[in-house]
A and B are shown apart, each in its own frame.
Chain A
């Protein structure tokens, strides 16, 4: 009964979506206040019904209702409760339900947090989001309904892919999806602005917090995915340039360009058309990511066996939404009016250069991701583009970006003098050299030309950022008081840039200096890796709720340090008869020790992977700092206060014009 209610709730949500898409849009064109005011309640009601559907499916998972086909194929009564719930988004249908739930949640949030905005604008934004939700709900109901029954029900479920039975999967998809879907808000703001014909700095100010919030979630989501891959896939990689990873990374690159371009649009009324294009592009790539992952065209952990009808549906939807937005852009783009002027040496130029570089980086990833698919679809041969391509292209594009980031932070808006800027940058440059020298002296891993190059970039960003803050405070009469009075947006920006530098340090050192040993070890064997002494103590049998396996215990010693115990597991999940590697990891700020079991060899021996990974935590630490920076900036009262004031003024104007 409950699954049918869930199915019914989805259908109702579709109907509400249709109403919420059509009526407010017409109302906004005609200036009909009643029709426009339907947008907010429709968004809220839609959230209620989608949440009901979500709860209905969650109920089926919790109560092990294997008469629901989706539950039967992705859950098992022996699975722990937390994984039974997260299995909801472990496969195609459920993750789509999560997608629409989050979309409805964002719409609802917009409906509540948009009181100061003109009604016509809000009506259009919510209508565009409703159109997107209609597309996805239709897709679910037609091709991938999670509530379908399977009669007679199987005795027990087919279990969830063991790789996905993990805490990382409990939080990674919701986080990533919140980011993906969040770009729909920026997209809807852009489309609404295009329809209404007013894309100005006020528009950018409204769009900024939403875009920033979505970007924070996406940053965390990608970092979580990388962390999960690191400890769960059993070979210690943290980024594979896998198409599915690229699918989440491309919106992030454009989203990063977008938040910077939006800042310039808001402050200086420049790059308006560029910003709009970025907003359309970022969400377009989110949709493309969904298409790539869900259509089954990709061969990866994430690609669930699925029929091509689904892929075609999403592709058609993608073409419709993004093509429509671009046509609207071509038609209305000219109405945006002239931009303010700025000099060649100014912060605007640096921001523009960086957002162009980010776009180029995104385009290279897109080329490497799509080219094999296109060639395969045209039957021109099967090929793949390996990580060496991405590495060799990405670094040359990111290097100027990092250099310009350090410069741009010190440049003034509108006009700066190149000579003055150079003079001001002498201190940060000196600081960066000192920092680099200290790093090279302290970290033995940092003494190769390539490591020094990477660390120099990071040191440049760190010095430029910190000295920027110091200079700003010292210019005031009471520096310390000035420090604590710094606006949240300013602090957030600098925190995020520091996070970026921290990630660069992590990427550089872990890529260049990981020591990795594959060897054969039996209990009692000892070996040395990068100054650490590993001893295989014992191999013990292991019993889990839905798996058995072997636990290998190791003892690690290093000169002057006591022994450290670490155990790695090899599990065999009973239902799917699938082996899984659980790595033993000792995390540290400057290095991780990583042990994973390969396979049993003759006798009691195992093939074992032992790794020492310097500074690998910095990768994710930096991502957390970036997201924290974004969230800090969101706290800036400026966004709320000024937007309310400006909106009030706009509202008056609107009344006069319409």
Chain B
């Protein structure tokens, strides 16, 4: 091969490699985007049924129910002051999970409309409210005021 042709081959290989990389990245990216929804948006059917998303809100006071067995199942409700949604989770809740605290859960909706969480996040500061949750609570509260 002449040096010129050799260079062309190298450039072609590079372009091919970059193309494959970009395709890989974008498809992975697309599959792993997780949107955030408030309980109100879930109730109005905006949330996807078949893929995980994030649901956030304030844990409703007195709604936390623990299973009796040793498997650590727990059910609780979150609210954005407009709608509530039941979340089911199995495992250890984070240190700052409390009733009245803003949380974000990652998971999917089951057939009964219960949000089955694979992960529950409560942030590491007692005054901290996840910004999405703060916004959702504000929107929900404003909505409720406007209704009556």
B14 to chain A, nearest CB (A): 8
* 8 Å CB interface, B7-33 against A: 10, 18, 21, 24-25, 28-29, 31-33
Cβ–Cβ contact A383 & B92, under 8 A:
no
Cβ–Cβ contact B93 & A598, under 8 A:
yes
Cβ–Cβ contact A344 & B72, under 8 A:
no
Cβ–Cβ contact A385 & B29, under 8 A:
yes
Of all chain B residues, the one with the shortest Cβ separation from A581 is B95
Cβ–Cβ contact B28 & A389, under 8 A:
yes
A-B contacts at CB below 8 angstroms, number: 94
Cβ–Cβ contact A364 & B25, under 8 A:
yes
A651 to chain B, nearest CB (A): 39
Cβ–Cβ contact B25 & A299, under 8 A:
no
Q: Specify which of B10, B18, B25, B34 is in contact with A384 (CB 8 Å cutoff).
A: B34
* 8 Å CB interface, B54-69 against A: 54, 66
Q: Using Cβ atoms and an 8 Å threshold, which residues of chain B touch A598?
A: 72, 92-93
Is A110 located at the chain interface by the 8 A CB criterion? Answer: no
Cβ–Cβ contact A161 & B24, under 8 A:
no
Is B132 located at the chain interface by the 8 A CB criterion? Answer: yes
Q: Using Cβ atoms and an 8 Å threshold, which residues of chain A touch B135?
A: 382
Is A530 located at the chain interface by the 8 A CB criterion? Answer: no
Q: Using Cβ atoms and an 8 Å threshold, which residues of chain B touch A299?
A: 123, 130-131
Is A601 located at the chain interface by the 8 A CB criterion? Answer: yes
* 8 Å CB interface, A267-315 against B: 299-301, 305
Q: Using Cβ atoms and an 8 Å threshold, which residues of chain A touch B95?
A: 234, 578-581
Binds B, one of A390-398, A531-539, A613-621: A390-398
For the complex, would chain A's binding face be called helix, strand, loop or mixed by DSSP majority?
mixed
Q: 1/0 per residue A552-590: CB within 8 Å of B?
A: 000000000000000000000000111111000000000
Q: Using Cβ atoms and an 8 Å threshold, which residues of chain A touch B66?
A: 601-602
Residue among A367, A577, A579 with max Cβ neighbours from chain B (10 Å): A579
Of all chain A residues, the one with the shortest Cβ separation from B68 is A602
Q: Using Cβ atoms and an 8 Å threshold, which residues of chain A touch B126?
A: 576-578
With contact pairs A360-B21, A577-B126, A581-B95 given, residues A392 and B131 touching in the complex (Cβ less than 8 Å) = no
Cβ–Cβ contact B34 & A385, under 8 A:
yes
Give complex CA distance A163, B124 in Å: 8
| Chain A residues bordering chain B, tally (CB within 8 A) | 43
Q: Using Cβ atoms and an 8 Å threshold, which residues of chain B touch A474?
A: none
With contact pairs A299-B123, A607-B72 given, residues A382 and B132 touching in the complex (Cβ less than 8 Å) = yes
Is A523 located at the chain interface by the 8 A CB criterion? Answer: no
With contact pairs A364-B25, A396-B24, A578-B96 given, residues A519 and B34 touching in the complex (Cβ less than 8 Å) = no
Q: 1/0 per residue B98-112: CB within 8 Å of A?
A: 000000001000000
Cβ–Cβ contact A519 & B35, under 8 A:
no
Is A152 located at the chain interface by the 8 A CB criterion? Answer: no
Cβ–Cβ contact A393 & B24, under 8 A:
yes
* 8 Å CB interface, B101-148 against A: 106, 123-128, 130-132, 135
Q: Using Cβ atoms and an 8 Å threshold, which residues of chain A touch B128?
A: 305
Cβ–Cβ contact B28 & A381, under 8 A:
no
B97 to chain A, nearest CB (A): 8
Q: Specify which of B32, B35, B92, B131 is in contact with A389 (CB 8 Å cutoff).
A: B32
Give complex CA distance A393, B95 in Å: 32
Cβ–Cβ contact B70 & A579, under 8 A:
no
Is B36 located at the chain interface by the 8 A CB criterion? Answer: yes
* 8 Å CB interface, A637-651 against B: none
Residue among B29, B92, B127 with max Cβ neighbours from chain A (10 Å): B92
Q: Using Cβ atoms and an 8 Å threshold, which residues of chain B touch A235?
A: 92
Residue among A161, A344, A393 with max Cβ neighbours from chain B (10 Å): A393
Cβ–Cβ contact A386 & B70, under 8 A:
no
Is A599 located at the chain interface by the 8 A CB criterion? Answer: yes
Cβ–Cβ contact A386 & B35, under 8 A:
no
Give complex CA distance A234, B124 in Å: 12
Of all chain B residues, the one with the shortest Cβ separation from A519 is B70
Is B4 located at the chain interface by the 8 A CB criterion? Answer: no
Residue among B18, B32, B135 with max Cβ neighbours from chain A (10 Å): B32
Q: Using Cβ atoms and an 8 Å threshold, which residues of chain A touch B21?
A: 360, 396-397
Query: Can you list 10 A-B pairs, Cβ within 8 angstroms, ordered by A?
Result: A299-B131, A368-B29, A381-B36, A384-B54, A385-B29, A385-B34, A389-B29, A393-B29, A578-B96, A598-B72
Q: Which 9 A-B pairs give the minimum distances between C-beta atoms?
A: A598-B92, A389-B32, A382-B36, A520-B70, A392-B28, A579-B95, A518-B91, A383-B35, A388-B32
Taking A384-B36, A385-B33, A599-B92 as given, write out 6 further A-B residue pairs in contact, using a Cβ cutoff of 8 Å, ordered by the A residue number: A301-B123, A385-B29, A386-B34, A389-B31, A389-B32, A519-B71
On B, residues with C-beta under 8 Å from A are: 6, 10, 18, 21, 24-25, 28-29, 31-36, 54, 66, 70-72, 90-93, 95-96, 106, 123-128, 130-132, 135
